[in-house]
Amino acid sequence: MIVFITGATAGIGKATAELFAKNGYNIIITGRRKDRLIDFSNHLKSTYNIDVLSLNFDVTKLKEVESAIDSIPENWKKINVLVNNAGLAVGVNTIQEGLIEDWERMIDTNIKGLLYITRKLTPIMIANGYGHIVNMGSVAGKEVYPNGNVYCATKFAVDALNKSMRIELLPHNIKVTAINPGMVETEFSIVRFKGDEERAKNAYKGLQPLVAEDIAETIYWVASRPPHVNINDIIIMATAQANTTIAIRKND
Ligand code: NDP
Ligand code: 8X3
Protein backbone atom coordinates (compact mmCIF):
# COMPACT_ATOMS: atom_id res chain seq x y z
CA MET A 1 0.00 0.00 0.00
CA ILE A 2 1.31 3.46 -0.94
CA VAL A 3 0.25 6.88 0.37
CA PHE A 4 1.31 10.19 -1.24
CA ILE A 5 1.22 13.12 1.18
CA THR A 6 1.81 16.75 0.21
CA GLY A 7 3.29 18.96 2.93
CA ALA A 8 4.79 16.17 5.03
CA THR A 9 7.61 18.24 6.54
CA ALA A 10 5.45 19.60 9.39
CA GLY A 11 2.15 19.47 11.22
CA ILE A 12 -0.75 17.40 9.94
CA GLY A 13 1.07 16.00 6.88
CA LYS A 14 4.01 14.84 8.97
CA ALA A 15 1.82 13.20 11.63
CA THR A 16 -0.20 11.52 8.86
CA ALA A 17 2.94 10.12 7.23
CA GLU A 18 4.10 8.78 10.60
CA LEU A 19 0.78 7.02 11.25
CA PHE A 20 0.54 5.43 7.79
CA ALA A 21 4.20 4.33 8.10
CA LYS A 22 3.43 2.78 11.49
CA ASN A 23 0.66 0.81 9.77
CA GLY A 24 3.02 -0.57 7.13
CA TYR A 25 2.33 1.75 4.20
CA ASN A 26 5.15 2.88 1.94
CA ILE A 27 5.14 6.65 1.87
CA ILE A 28 5.75 9.39 -0.69
CA ILE A 29 6.55 12.54 1.27
CA THR A 30 6.74 16.01 -0.28
CA GLY A 31 7.58 19.55 0.76
CA ARG A 32 9.90 22.47 0.04
CA ARG A 33 12.26 21.97 3.01
CA LYS A 34 14.72 19.39 1.73
CA ASP A 35 16.65 18.94 5.01
CA ARG A 36 13.43 18.04 6.81
CA LEU A 37 12.44 15.59 4.06
CA ILE A 38 15.82 13.82 4.35
CA ASP A 39 15.71 13.58 8.16
CA PHE A 40 12.07 12.46 8.20
CA SER A 41 12.61 9.90 5.46
CA ASN A 42 15.54 8.37 7.40
CA HIS A 43 13.43 8.31 10.57
CA LEU A 44 10.47 6.58 8.86
CA LYS A 45 12.64 3.96 7.16
CA SER A 46 14.63 3.07 10.24
CA THR A 47 11.68 3.10 12.66
CA TYR A 48 9.05 1.28 10.60
CA ASN A 49 11.08 -0.73 8.08
CA ILE A 50 9.11 0.70 5.14
CA ASP A 51 10.13 2.37 1.86
CA VAL A 52 10.00 6.13 1.52
CA LEU A 53 10.21 8.26 -1.62
CA SER A 54 10.95 11.96 -1.01
CA LEU A 55 9.91 14.51 -3.60
CA ASN A 56 11.25 18.00 -2.95
CA PHE A 57 9.16 20.61 -4.77
CA ASP A 58 6.92 23.63 -4.39
CA VAL A 59 3.24 22.86 -5.13
CA THR A 60 2.72 26.37 -6.52
CA LYS A 61 5.21 25.76 -9.36
CA LEU A 62 3.54 23.75 -12.09
CA LYS A 63 6.80 22.71 -13.78
CA GLU A 64 8.23 21.44 -10.45
CA VAL A 65 5.02 19.50 -9.75
CA GLU A 66 5.07 17.95 -13.21
CA SER A 67 8.72 16.91 -13.15
CA ALA A 68 8.48 15.57 -9.58
CA ILE A 69 5.49 13.39 -10.45
CA ASP A 70 7.01 12.35 -13.79
CA SER A 71 10.07 11.15 -11.84
CA ILE A 72 8.06 8.63 -9.77
CA PRO A 73 9.44 5.15 -10.56
CA GLU A 74 6.99 2.58 -11.98
CA ASN A 75 7.00 0.53 -8.76
CA TRP A 76 5.78 3.59 -6.81
CA LYS A 77 2.82 4.32 -9.08
CA LYS A 78 0.30 2.01 -7.40
CA ILE A 79 -0.77 4.89 -5.16
CA ASN A 80 -3.68 3.95 -2.90
CA VAL A 81 -4.15 7.26 -1.11
CA LEU A 82 -3.33 10.88 -2.01
CA VAL A 83 -3.52 13.33 0.88
CA ASN A 84 -3.79 16.85 -0.60
CA ASN A 85 -2.59 18.53 2.57
CA ALA A 86 -0.01 21.23 1.71
CA GLY A 87 -1.54 24.59 2.49
CA LEU A 88 -1.30 27.75 4.51
CA ALA A 89 -2.88 30.94 5.74
CA VAL A 90 -0.83 34.14 5.48
CA GLY A 91 -1.90 37.29 7.30
CA VAL A 92 -5.13 38.35 8.99
CA ASN A 93 -6.44 41.53 7.42
CA THR A 94 -9.65 43.17 6.35
CA ILE A 95 -10.37 42.96 2.64
CA GLN A 96 -9.50 46.66 2.22
CA GLU A 97 -6.10 46.26 3.88
CA GLY A 98 -5.11 42.79 2.70
CA LEU A 99 -1.74 42.30 1.06
CA ILE A 100 -1.97 41.10 -2.52
CA GLU A 101 1.17 38.98 -2.07
CA ASP A 102 -0.46 37.14 0.87
CA TRP A 103 -3.60 36.52 -1.17
CA GLU A 104 -1.57 35.18 -4.07
CA ARG A 105 0.39 32.81 -1.85
CA MET A 106 -2.81 31.37 -0.39
CA ILE A 107 -4.58 31.06 -3.74
CA ASP A 108 -1.48 29.59 -5.43
CA THR A 109 -0.88 27.05 -2.66
CA ASN A 110 -4.32 26.05 -1.43
CA ILE A 111 -6.20 26.07 -4.74
CA LYS A 112 -3.76 25.97 -7.63
CA GLY A 113 -1.24 23.70 -5.89
CA LEU A 114 -3.96 21.22 -4.96
CA LEU A 115 -5.21 21.32 -8.57
CA TYR A 116 -1.74 20.81 -10.08
CA ILE A 117 -1.13 17.76 -7.90
CA THR A 118 -4.58 16.32 -8.55
CA ARG A 119 -4.35 16.87 -12.32
CA LYS A 120 -1.05 14.94 -12.46
CA LEU A 121 -1.97 12.11 -10.11
CA THR A 122 -5.55 11.32 -11.12
CA PRO A 123 -4.57 9.81 -14.53
CA ILE A 124 -2.22 7.47 -12.63
CA MET A 125 -5.02 6.48 -10.23
CA ILE A 126 -7.45 6.03 -13.13
CA ALA A 127 -4.94 3.74 -14.89
CA ASN A 128 -4.59 1.78 -11.63
CA GLY A 129 -8.38 1.40 -11.42
CA TYR A 130 -8.56 2.55 -7.79
CA GLY A 131 -7.57 5.34 -5.45
CA HIS A 132 -8.62 7.59 -2.60
CA ILE A 133 -8.09 11.35 -2.52
CA VAL A 134 -8.26 13.04 0.86
CA ASN A 135 -8.50 16.83 0.53
CA MET A 136 -7.54 19.00 3.48
CA GLY A 137 -10.28 21.58 3.80
CA SER A 138 -11.04 23.52 6.96
CA VAL A 139 -13.90 24.86 9.03
CA ALA A 140 -12.82 28.03 7.19
CA GLY A 141 -14.23 26.35 4.07
CA LYS A 142 -17.62 25.93 5.74
CA GLU A 143 -18.09 29.34 7.40
CA VAL A 144 -16.23 32.63 7.07
CA TYR A 145 -14.85 34.69 9.95
CA PRO A 146 -13.67 38.32 10.24
CA ASN A 147 -10.30 38.91 8.54
CA GLY A 148 -10.23 35.35 7.21
CA ASN A 149 -11.59 36.45 3.79
CA VAL A 150 -9.11 35.02 1.25
CA TYR A 151 -8.01 32.02 3.35
CA CYS A 152 -11.70 31.15 3.80
CA ALA A 153 -12.28 31.63 0.07
CA THR A 154 -9.47 29.18 -0.75
CA LYS A 155 -10.95 26.56 1.57
CA PHE A 156 -14.46 27.14 0.17
CA ALA A 157 -12.83 26.39 -3.18
CA VAL A 158 -11.38 23.16 -1.78
CA ASP A 159 -14.89 22.26 -0.57
CA ALA A 160 -16.26 22.80 -4.11
CA LEU A 161 -13.40 20.88 -5.71
CA ASN A 162 -13.87 18.02 -3.27
CA LYS A 163 -17.52 17.68 -4.33
CA SER A 164 -16.66 18.00 -8.03
CA MET A 165 -13.89 15.42 -7.82
CA ARG A 166 -16.25 12.95 -6.17
CA ILE A 167 -18.65 13.21 -9.12
CA GLU A 168 -16.03 13.09 -11.85
CA LEU A 169 -13.93 10.31 -10.36
CA LEU A 170 -16.91 8.14 -9.44
CA PRO A 171 -16.74 6.07 -12.65
CA HIS A 172 -13.06 5.35 -11.91
CA ASN A 173 -13.49 3.79 -8.48
CA ILE A 174 -11.70 6.69 -6.79
CA LYS A 175 -13.00 7.76 -3.39
CA VAL A 176 -12.91 11.44 -2.46
CA THR A 177 -13.04 12.72 1.12
CA ALA A 178 -12.70 16.16 2.72
CA ILE A 179 -11.32 16.63 6.22
CA ASN A 180 -12.27 20.00 7.69
CA PRO A 181 -10.51 20.75 10.97
CA GLY A 182 -10.94 23.64 13.36
CA MET A 183 -7.96 24.85 15.39
CA VAL A 184 -4.99 22.47 15.23
CA GLU A 185 -1.75 23.58 16.88
CA THR A 186 0.98 23.07 14.26
CA GLU A 187 3.24 25.53 12.45
CA PHE A 188 0.05 26.91 10.83
CA SER A 189 -0.30 29.99 13.06
CA ILE A 190 3.44 30.71 12.98
CA VAL A 191 3.16 30.85 9.17
CA ARG A 192 -0.07 32.87 9.34
CA PHE A 193 1.56 35.43 11.66
CA LYS A 194 4.76 35.45 9.60
CA GLY A 195 7.08 34.00 12.23
CA ASP A 196 5.60 35.81 15.27
CA GLU A 197 5.64 32.82 17.66
CA GLU A 198 4.14 34.76 20.56
CA ARG A 199 1.08 35.75 18.52
CA ALA A 200 0.81 32.21 17.19
CA LYS A 201 0.76 30.80 20.75
CA ASN A 202 -1.96 33.29 21.71
CA ALA A 203 -4.30 31.83 19.10
CA TYR A 204 -4.65 28.77 21.39
CA LYS A 205 -4.47 30.60 24.73
CA GLY A 206 -6.78 29.22 27.41
CA LEU A 207 -8.04 26.22 25.43
CA GLN A 208 -6.87 22.81 24.35
CA PRO A 209 -6.65 22.81 20.55
CA LEU A 210 -6.53 19.72 18.37
CA VAL A 211 -3.07 18.35 17.64
CA ALA A 212 -1.79 17.05 14.31
CA GLU A 213 -2.12 13.44 15.51
CA ASP A 214 -5.91 13.92 15.96
CA ILE A 215 -6.21 14.74 12.27
CA ALA A 216 -3.79 11.99 11.25
CA GLU A 217 -5.98 9.45 13.06
CA THR A 218 -9.04 10.78 11.24
CA ILE A 219 -7.33 10.55 7.85
CA TYR A 220 -6.11 7.03 8.61
CA TRP A 221 -9.61 6.03 9.71
CA VAL A 222 -11.27 7.30 6.49
CA ALA A 223 -8.57 5.62 4.38
CA SER A 224 -9.02 2.29 6.11
CA ARG A 225 -12.80 1.90 5.63
CA PRO A 226 -13.84 -1.12 3.54
CA PRO A 227 -13.97 -0.68 -0.28
CA HIS A 228 -17.75 -0.13 -0.33
CA VAL A 229 -17.64 2.72 2.22
CA ASN A 230 -16.64 6.32 1.52
CA ILE A 231 -16.59 9.10 4.09
CA ASN A 232 -17.54 12.19 2.08
CA ASP A 233 -16.88 14.99 4.53
CA ILE A 234 -15.76 15.41 8.13
CA ILE A 235 -15.74 18.50 10.34
CA ILE A 236 -13.56 18.03 13.40
CA MET A 237 -12.98 20.58 16.13
CA ALA A 238 -11.52 20.92 19.59
CA THR A 239 -14.21 20.39 22.22
CA ALA A 240 -13.60 23.99 23.31
CA GLN A 241 -14.48 25.35 19.86
CA ALA A 242 -18.09 25.65 18.59
CA ASN A 243 -17.48 27.33 15.24
CA THR A 244 -14.95 29.65 13.60
CA THR A 245 -15.76 32.56 15.92
CA ILE A 246 -16.90 30.99 19.21
CA ALA A 247 -14.56 29.13 21.51
CA ILE A 248 -14.45 28.91 25.27
CA ARG A 249 -11.16 29.84 26.91
CA LYS A 250 -10.17 29.43 30.56
CA ASN A 251 -9.60 33.15 30.96
CA ASP A 252 -13.02 34.03 29.42
P1 NDP B 1 1.98 23.43 8.89
O2 NDP B 1 2.42 24.82 8.59
O3 NDP B 1 2.43 22.80 10.15
O4 NDP B 1 2.36 22.47 7.66
C5 NDP B 1 2.12 22.88 6.34
C6 NDP B 1 2.79 21.91 5.37
O7 NDP B 1 2.48 22.35 4.03
C8 NDP B 1 4.29 21.89 5.51
O9 NDP B 1 4.76 20.57 5.38
C10 NDP B 1 4.77 22.73 4.33
O11 NDP B 1 6.02 22.23 3.87
C12 NDP B 1 3.68 22.44 3.30
N13 NDP B 1 3.61 23.51 2.30
C14 NDP B 1 3.20 24.79 2.47
N15 NDP B 1 3.35 25.49 1.34
C16 NDP B 1 3.87 24.62 0.42
C17 NDP B 1 4.27 24.76 -0.94
N18 NDP B 1 4.17 25.92 -1.60
N19 NDP B 1 4.78 23.67 -1.57
C20 NDP B 1 4.89 22.50 -0.90
N21 NDP B 1 4.53 22.30 0.37
C22 NDP B 1 4.04 23.38 1.03
O23 NDP B 1 0.37 23.50 8.81
P24 NDP B 1 -0.76 22.39 9.07
O25 NDP B 1 -0.17 21.06 9.18
O26 NDP B 1 -1.62 22.89 10.17
O27 NDP B 1 -1.58 22.55 7.72
C28 NDP B 1 -1.80 21.49 6.81
C29 NDP B 1 -3.11 21.72 6.10
O30 NDP B 1 -4.18 21.70 7.05
C31 NDP B 1 -3.23 23.05 5.35
O32 NDP B 1 -3.89 22.83 4.13
C33 NDP B 1 -4.10 23.89 6.28
O34 NDP B 1 -4.80 24.89 5.59
C35 NDP B 1 -5.02 22.82 6.85
N36 NDP B 1 -5.68 23.16 8.09
C37 NDP B 1 -4.95 23.51 9.20
C38 NDP B 1 -5.61 23.82 10.38
C39 NDP B 1 -4.89 24.27 11.58
O40 NDP B 1 -5.54 24.88 12.48
N41 NDP B 1 -3.59 23.98 11.74
C42 NDP B 1 -7.08 23.76 10.46
C43 NDP B 1 -7.73 23.42 9.24
C44 NDP B 1 -7.05 23.12 8.10
P45 NDP B 1 7.27 23.13 3.40
O46 NDP B 1 7.18 24.43 4.14
O47 NDP B 1 8.46 22.29 3.73
O48 NDP B 1 7.06 23.28 1.93
C1 8X3 C 1 -7.48 26.66 9.99
C2 8X3 C 1 -8.58 26.85 10.99
O3 8X3 C 1 -10.15 28.62 12.00
O4 8X3 C 1 -7.78 29.21 11.76
O5 8X3 C 1 -7.99 26.31 8.76
O6 8X3 C 1 -9.21 29.09 9.84
S7 8X3 C 1 -8.94 28.54 11.13
CA of 88 to the centre of ligand 2 (A): 10
Closest CA to 234 of 138, 166, 160: 138
- pLDDT average, residue stretch 215-236: 98
Q: Which residues contact 235 (CB under 8 A, 6 or more apart)?
A: 139, 142, 180, 181, 182
* pLDDT confidence of residue 251: 73
On whether residue 245 sits in a domain, the answer given is no
On whether residue 147 sits in a domain, the answer given is yes
Among 109, 110, 147, 183, which is best to mutate for testing ligand 2, by the most ligand atoms less than 8 A from CB? 183
Which regions of 85-147 does DSSP assign to beta strands (E)? 131-136
- Dist CA 71 CA 84 (whole Å): 19
* pLDDT confidence of residue 92: 97
User: In this model, does residue 208 exceed pLDDT 70?
Assistant: yes
On whether residue 244 sits in a domain, the answer given is no
- pLDDT average, residue stretch 81-91: 99
Q: Which residues contact 162 (CB under 8 A, 6 or more apart)?
A: 135, 137, 176, 177, 178, 233
Range of the domain at 193: 2-236
**Terminal CA-to-CA distance of the chain, rounded, Å?**
47
Among 180, 199, 205, 244, which is best to mutate for testing ligand 2, by the most ligand atoms less than 8 A from CB? 244
Q: For the segment 165-179, what is each residue's pLDDT rounded down to a tens digit?
A: 999 999 999 999 999
Q: What is the dihedral of CA 86, 29, 176, 244, to 10 degrees?
A: -30
- Dist CA 237 CA 137 (whole Å): 13
- Dist CA 218 CA 100 (whole Å): 34
Closest CA to 179 of 200, 155, 203, 145: 155
Mean pLDDT estimate for the chain: 98
The β-bridge partners of 211 are: 185
- pLDDT average, residue stretch 78-98: 98
Q: How confident is the model at residue 252 (pLDDT cuts 50, 70, 90)?
A: low
On whether residue 249 sits in a domain, the answer given is no
On whether residue 252 sits in a domain, the answer given is no
- Dist CA 204 CA 232 (whole Å): 29
Assign residue 90 the CATH number of its domain: 3.40.50.720
Residue 128, burial from CB neighbour count under 10 angstroms (0-12, 13-18, 19+) = middle
Question: How many structural domains is the chain composed of?
Answer: 1
CA of 73 to the centre of ligand 2 (A): 36
On whether residue 241 sits in a domain, the answer given is no
- Interaxial angle between packed helices 212-223 and 11-22, expressed in degrees from 0 to 180 and rounded to the nearest 10: 50
CA of 85 to the centre of ligand 1 (A): 6
Q: For the segment 48-76, what is each residue's pLDDT rounded down to a tens digit?
A: 999 999 999 999 999 999 999 999 999 99
- Dist CA 209 CA 110 (whole Å): 22
User: In this model, does residue 89 exceed pLDDT 70?
Assistant: yes
On whether residue 243 sits in a domain, the answer given is no
On whether residue 251 sits in a domain, the answer given is no
